[in-house]
Structure 1
Amino acid sequence: MLSEGTHQPPRPPRIFLAGGSATVTREAGKAPMTGWGQVLHLFLTPGIEVVNCARAGASARTFHEWGRLDWILANIAPGDYLLMCFGINDAKPEEWLRTEAYGDFPVHLRAFIDGARERNAHPVLVSPPESDTYDVHGNLPRSITEYPMAMADVAAECGVPYIDLYNQSRHWWAELGPAGVRPFFINLEPGEHPDYPEGLRDPGHMMPAGAIACVRFVAYSLVAEQVVPAHWAVDLDRAHFPPDAVTWLDDATHHELTQARTLGTG
């Protein structure tokens, strides 16, 4: 018990993350898949806590319906931040998953924004990174078009900071070319990694290098747009990180956190 006149130490600032597999912290059984939220801490001072609530396969709609937004709003506090990164799964055709870019997608985003603001927290919209969409002819088609546009519109209407990771990453991938972008995404040969003995080609999910490139831009933008204090960011210009800088949760802990960070069934 605190004695009269004493005060609890201030709680460290927290950044809550909501999104799908582009943002999620992966479990060891999925390594080397890496979400950008998994490595955000590399660019933050140790006193900043990242609470990654992203769920692989979630759209803005299902994240909301599954009770995951409710959990965030029950735990977020004044001065905290809520970064939302949706659009990839929202564009998929499955009726239970999909949202319409200029229909219910903005409605769900506003629920995140309004909920954060009602608790005196700071909402931030982040468009998802582009996938490796290069075709055999060397073209780089867009995987999604309307969702980053709709997100930008919501940000402008609501006066919310917007980090356009989608178009920034597309610019990078175009500069790198088909061969240059491959190391940023899952391209594993048979026997190359124990988690995927038969190999795996997954142009939609990132390797550590891709996740670090994307989250570096997110962290840089948070500072450049004066969303967070400049002294929160570290190593924005650091060229390389050691292999052990990126870690994965053990599968049991990952499962426990996934189940715990919801007030619903998702």
Structure 2
Amino acid sequence: MATGAATATGAFAAGAGGGKHRSRTLFIAGDSTAAQKYADAAPETGWGMALPFFLGRTVPVANHAVNGRSSKSFLDEGRLTALLGAIKPGDLLLVQFGHNDSKAADPTRYTEPWSTYQDCLRQYVDGARAAGARPVFATSVERRRFDTEGRAVPTHGEYPAAMRALGSELDVPVLDAQALSLELWQKLGAEPAKAYFNWTPEDQDNTHFSPLGAIEVARLVAGELLRTRVLAAAEVRRLEDEIPTSWITWPAPPPAA
């Protein structure tokens, strides 16, 4: 994980010239791995729930990630439009999709990495920039999957590479959560990594996170926000600190619409 000091540059350098860092909201558009979870889903935890532990108070988080969405279905349901209605100039839009884009049997969610996936991601970039906000990409966090020799293996096909390439083309920072999480799972090993997922012998969930896993993935994301200079050193915190899992709480589910 990247934890070295860095300073933001360009139009989004908060507090340029030594002044105080102004408040700017970090919006998350993503899927279930990032989403807010409620009491009926505990202990499943989205990494977006833990991200505020690593960000300063001048960077509040507005988590719009929703279970089961792809870059396409999030758009088609009008969720990006609603998000952009709340975003303000200077805010950040962090986009993480890919888990559900690969579901070829579901035309409401499926995208092809080098065509429709990139086409959808362009809409997030264009929308954010039109609103005066800064788009940021995050490659999909890896699932817990190991081969017979104990090596952590990637599960997202060409989607991370397609996002990286589009980020380079459009000058959008890319937080490489896919590569860093794969490295973390490898370091932990197959059995210890289970504690980071919502894994039980009855429900062998190798995709969604436990409180511990959400905290560690959020730490990776915050470190990448610093490394890529999206945020300045004064806007992140606790990157080396142990975060108690008791800090995670699950509110009551919202009323049915």
| TM bracket, shorter-chain basis | 0.7 to 0.9
Asked if 1:168 corresponds to 2:180, the answer is: yes
- Assess, with a 3 A threshold, how the Cα gap between structure 1 residues 173 and 75 changes in structure 2: closer, same or farther: same
Aligned residue runs from structure 1 range 204-243, under 5 A: 204-238=207-241, 240-243=242-245
Q: Assess if the C-alpha contact under 8 Å between 2:28 and 2:63 holds in 1.
A: yes
Match of 2:77 among 62, 66, 70: 66
TM-score for the superposition, normalised by structure 2: 0.87
Structure 2 unaligned blocks of 5 or more: 1-20
Write the deviation string for residues 172-229 of structure 1: whole angstroms up to 9, x where unpaired: 111221112110111235xxxxxxxxx4221111111111111111111111221112
* 1:234 partner letter: R
Question: 1:164 and 1:211 mapped to 2: Cα distance?
Answer: 16
Question: 1:170 and 1:65 mapped to 2: Cα distance?
Answer: 30
* 1:36 partner letter: W
Q: Assess if the C-alpha contact under 8 Å between 2:176 and 2:224 holds in 1.
A: no
The aligned residue for residue 118 of structure 1 is 130
The aligned residue for residue 148 of structure 1 is 160
Question: 1:170 and 1:111 mapped to 2: Cα distance?
Answer: 28
The aligned residue for residue 88 of structure 1 is 99
The Cα RMSD (Å) is: 1.8
Identity rate of aligned residues, in percent?
Answer: 34
The aligned residue for residue 204 of structure 2 is 201
Number of aligned residues: 236
Asked if 1:182 corresponds to 2:184, the answer is: no
Match of 2:58 among 2, 27, 47: 47
The aligned residue for residue 77 of structure 1 is 88
- Assess, with a 3 A threshold, how the Cα gap between structure 1 residues 11 and 171 changes in structure 2: closer, same or farther: closer
The aligned residue for residue 134 of structure 1 is 146
- Assess, with a 3 A threshold, how the Cα gap between structure 1 residues 246 and 59 changes in structure 2: closer, same or farther: same
Query: Could you list the runs of 4 or more consecutive aligned residues of structure 1 that deviate by over 6 angstroms after TM superposition?
Result: none
Deviates more, 1:128-137 or 1:201-210: 128-137
Asked if 1:29 corresponds to 2:31, the answer is: no
* 1:230 partner letter: A
The aligned residue for residue 112 of structure 2 is 100
